[in-house]
Structure 1
Amino acid sequence: MKHPLLITAACLLALLSTVGAALPYPILPPLFAADASNNLNHFLGLPPKLLFGIALSINPLGLLIGTALLGPMSDRYGRRPVLLTSAIGAAVGHAITAWSLVIQNYPLFILARFITGLLEGNASVARAMLADKLEGDVRVQALAWLNGAVYSGWLVGPLIAGITLQWGVTVPFWVATVALLMTAGMVAIALPKERPSHLSTSWWQVAKSKHSFNLLKVPELKQLFIIQLAYTSGVTAFYDFFPLWLVEVPGYHSKGIAWVTAALCGVMALSSLAAGKPSSRPPLERIRFHAFCAASAVAAVGLGNAWIGIAAIIAFGFPNAVYNAVLPSWCSERFGHLGQGAVMGLISTTFYLANIMIALLGSLLTLIDTRIILVLGALLSMWAAWRIGHWEAELAAKDAAEAAESAF
């Protein structure tokens, strides 16, 4: 397959998959913050904000499991069959989500969000597909474009939700169903069939022995996991709770949340196009700087007034886009020999693990004040930026020692 077609296929897959995942963000905060009670926001008499936190965390839980498994499984069974199966299955998950909203069945809604997340955890497979075929600056640029497509999905998804909500709360989810079926068709056409594997191991054996968390046995990847977990805790605190902040502080509703989210994702998408360009600065130095800038933006939302917070929400897109373009490429170069699918899976699963922890913790802290979880997230991301600087020095010393040994 020619490189332009490969990159286009991966980016379209990322875009269409992310559209479905992004749809609920403008929908859920007003739904669970509504004054009128219903079977969704008063299930078992629990506080609506607690139910909202569970609804936020269950999809990332599915993404966590799916990403940890789908990347390594694609190393074993091939990228194409895993991408096809996950796209069709996620479409079914969105259809179930729409039906659960019609009948106001909270447990079914939670189950549907879990299934959808489980099968939409295929971003690591798309990244691994590019990492397999590309090298050097082309790989960096392609991964940056892939991130741009992901961010464009977060832009298109909330916009579709804001526009189509006037025809019913289920309409955005039916749009997601169609989009993911289109994804499956695109994958079937764009990606060539792969030779069947002659290995006799079952999918369960692969899932049990080849999941991404096995990489934590490698000391360097264990350090990466800790740093990435801290940074993404701040990012997920921002993603999960700035929509609720927009409801509580400036008093926005679904359409207002959708437009602010669109502006944020527009900045991320445009920034990603430039983030992959060659740079004279070392990768970890760029990662550290932009991690600090992203943390500062999250802190400005938690500590600022309505206008400062909105400006910080939108500005957050630039440093986060650069961080997410440079980190996977650096990891691919340094750790790719351990399996590109597993390495990219570890990066993604760390994000989803942080999302689960922050969503559950935030659902409790927002009972006091939504700004608390935002400030806590900012502090965690700032610690990650500080730790990256020390880790960079440790890796440089290790590389120098190994180079000296190999010289003798």
Structure 2
Amino acid sequence: MRHENKALASVLLLVCVSYIGVALPYPILAPLFIGATPAKLADFMRLPPELLLGLVLAAYPLGMFLGGHVLGALADHLGRKPVIRWTQIGVCLSYLLSGYALLQQQYLLLLFSRLLTGLFEGNIAIARSIAADLSHAIPKTTSFSYIHAAVYIGYLIGPLLGGALLYHSASTPFYFAAALALVGLGYFERMFQETHSRTTDAPVVTKFNAWILLRRRTVRQLCLINTLSALAFSTFYQFYPLYLVKIYDFGSDGIALLTGVLTVSLIFSSLVMVKVGKKYLSLAANIIWSLTFYGLLGSAMMLVNNHFAFYVLFTLLGLFIVTSGTNMGVYVSDHTPADEQGKLMGLLASLSAIGTVLSILLGSFLATFSPYYPMIGSVLFAAVALLLFMRLHLQNDVAPSDLISTAKHS
């Protein structure tokens, strides 16, 4: 196995076990706060348990927002391997802290530990920058799509493991996540060879500040488009269960099955559809058609009233969510210098994380008026992202025929 393949394999395992750890708490936290027998920490300062739960859920993406851009910039300066090494140790310790907080029923400690976990797991940005580093040997569309597949596999396995481990105690899944973090780190240390050398000394404001990339007009516009598309997908993820319950009276089993269908579709698209799209369409065309079909399918979901139709729609939605997200990441990466990929991926991770928080807050507000509104918001975010991308792409003197033609790309 070539060292590039070994490097990518080590990153994929690290990403997968990281996201298993991320998803492990999903079946755990809500029952602790609003279940039939809430835990002691759900009575913190006699605040509404829904608010306490919301703060805990928001702490992780907030931590990722704070950590992503800093860690990405650090990896550009110090190299990928040392930053991943120390942040992964931080991930392990923060999971142990979460388990201890639940054991002691300490709400503030749990809140802090989830913030800390998100901060250290901002190292997902470094995984994507490693994929960009390997583009001389492995096309970016391939490595980026494999990273997406690793993320979705983690999301599929995590809740299942979390539910199974919950029978021992609420702390057990967090201890297991800490062990997984060490397993991923061990394999990474053994298999990974550094892909990015240390940079020369530069002013601190440049060295550790990913936001400085936004001074460039094209990067700024692409980051806005990427964030809008991420908002579209995040709003859909967060609120389709509410929509299905309120409008079509879906139960937990039905939502779980649809979620499984969507996740399998996301994985399949990451492993297969991205390659197919690359073969027949240009990079820009993949983005444009994916966002277009996402908007059409999202609109169709609000018109059908047949349960079988939902399975078809969710399967197709999964395909276009991945092809859009993967190709958008490659497109932005291609417009940024090789020695700033860490900064860029950190910036994108931070923007995506804050987008998740905003989608939860905005979607919750819209849902108080109608469960349709978050779904409409998701489609509108995608539509605006599509229009802005088409405008930017055509402004860059790309022939309109490129939107439907075959073209080689990263």
Match of 1:219 in 2: 217
Pairing of 1:290-329 with structure 2 (within 5 A): 290-299=290-299, 307=307, 312-329=313-330
Indicate how the Cα distance of structure 1 residues 360 and 8 shifts in structure 2: closer, same or farther if over 3 A, else same: same
User: What is the aligned partner in structure 1 of residue 394 from structure 2?
Assistant: 393
Q: Secondary structure at the match of 1:98?
A: helix
For the 8 Å contact 1:290–1:322, the answer to whether it is kept is yes
d(CA) in 2 for partners of 1:224, 1:149: 25
Paired amino acid for 1:288: I
In 1, the alpha carbon distance for the partners of 2:48 and 2:361 equals 13
Letter of the 1:211 counterpart: N
In 1, distance between residues paired with 2:319 and 2:392?
Answer: 24
C-alpha deviations, 1:167-213, integer Å up to 9, x for none?
333332222111101111112111236899585679xx36x753222
**Match for residue 229 of structure 1?**
227
User: Could you say which residue in structure 1 is the equivalent of 2:375?
Assistant: 374
User: What's the offset of the Cα at 1:239?
Assistant: 2.6
User: How far is 1:299 from its partner?
Assistant: 5.0
C-alpha contact 2:261 2:311 (8 A) present in aligned 1: no
Structure 2 distance, partners of 1:336, 1:43, is 48
The offset of 1:371, in angstroms, is 4.6
Distance 1:391 1:124, change over 3 A: same
Task: Report 1:56-71 matches (<5 A).
Answer: 56-71=57-72
CA contact (8 A) 1:26 1:243 kept: no
Match runs of 1:184-199 below 5 Å: 184-192=185-193, 197=198
Instruction: Please list the CA deviations of residues 346-371 of structure 1 after superposition, one character each: whole Å capped at 9, or x if unmatched.
Output: 22222112012122333444455555
Matched position secondary structure for 2:111: helix
Measure how far apart 1:242 and its partner are: 3.8
Deviation, structure 1 residue 24: 2.6
CA deviation vs aligned residue, 1:98-120 (integer Å, no higher than 9, x gap) = 22233333322221111000001
Indicate whether 1:132 and 2:127 are aligned: no
Q: CA deviation at 1:315?
A: 3.9
Aligned counterpart for 2:262 among listed residues 264, 267, 288: 264
Letter in 2 for 1:88: I
- AA partner of residue 5 (structure 1): K
Per the TM alignment, residue 48 of structure 1 is displaced from its structure 2 partner at its CA by 3.7
2:361: which partner in 1? 360
Amino acid at match of 2:291: A
Instruction: Find the counterpart in structure 2 of residue 250 from structure 1.
Output: 250
Alpha-carbon RMSD = 3.1
Partner of 1:167: 168
**8 Å CA contact 1:140, 1:326 repeated in 2:** yes
Aligned counterpart, 2:208: 210
Name the counterpart of 1:240. 238
* Cα deviation digits, residues 1-47 of structure 1 (max 9, x gap): 62221221111111111111122333344444435554444544444
* Paired residues of 1:22 and 1:153 also in contact (CA < 8 A): yes
Unaligned segments of structure 1, at least 5 residues:
399-408
Query: What is the Cα deviation at residue 216 of structure 1?
Result: 0.8
Question: Given the superposition, is the C-alpha separation of residues 311 and 194 from structure 1 closer, same or farther in structure 2, using an over 3 Å criterion?
Answer: closer
Compute the TM-score of the two structures, normalised by the length of structure 2.
Answer: 0.84
Q: Deviations over 1:88-141 (max 9, x none)?
A: 111111122222233333322221111000001112211211211323763321
| CA distance in 2: counterparts of 1:312 and 1:4, whole angstroms | 35
Could you list the per-position Cα deviations for residues 140-173 of structure 1 after superposition, in whole angstroms to 9, with x for gaps in the alignment? 2122212211221111112212333333333322
Q: Secondary structure at the match of 1:386?
A: helix
- Decide whether the 8 Å contact of 2:133 with 2:338 is kept in 1: no
Amino acid at match of 1:324: G
Q: What's the offset of the Cα at 1:225?
A: 1.8
Over 3 Å counting, the alpha-carbon distance change for 1:31 and 1:233 in structure 2 is farther
**Correspondence 1:120 to 2:101:** no
Identity %: 27
Aligned partners of 2:23, 2:364: CA distance in 1, in Å? 20
Distance in 2 between the 1:240 and 1:99 partners? Answer: 28
Q: What's 1:279 paired with?
A: 279
- Cα 1:83–1:301 change in 2 (3 A) is farther
CA distance in 2, matches of 1:397, 1:363: 40
Match of 1:179?
180
- CA distance in 2: counterparts of 1:269 and 1:78, whole angstroms: 30
CA separation of 1:263/1:136 partners in 2, compared to 1, >3 Å: closer, same or farther?
A: same
Deviation at 1:84, TM superposition (A): 0.9
| Pair 1:35–1:395, CA change in 2 (3 A) | farther
Note if contact 1:24-1:161 (Cα within 8 Å) is conserved in structure 2.
yes
Amino acid corresponding to residue 294 of structure 1 in structure 2: Y
Residues matched between the structures, number? 394
Contact (CA 8 Å) 1:52, 1:363: kept in 2 or not?
Answer: no
Query: What is the distance in 1 between the residues matched to 2:47 and 2:310?
Result: 30
Distance in structure 1 (CA, Å) of the matches to 2:340 and 2:238: 31
Q: Which has the larger displacement, 235-244 or 168-177?
A: 235-244
Q: Which secondary structure state, in structure 1, belongs to the residue aligned with residue 336 of structure 2?
A: helix
Deviation of 1:218 (Å): 0.4
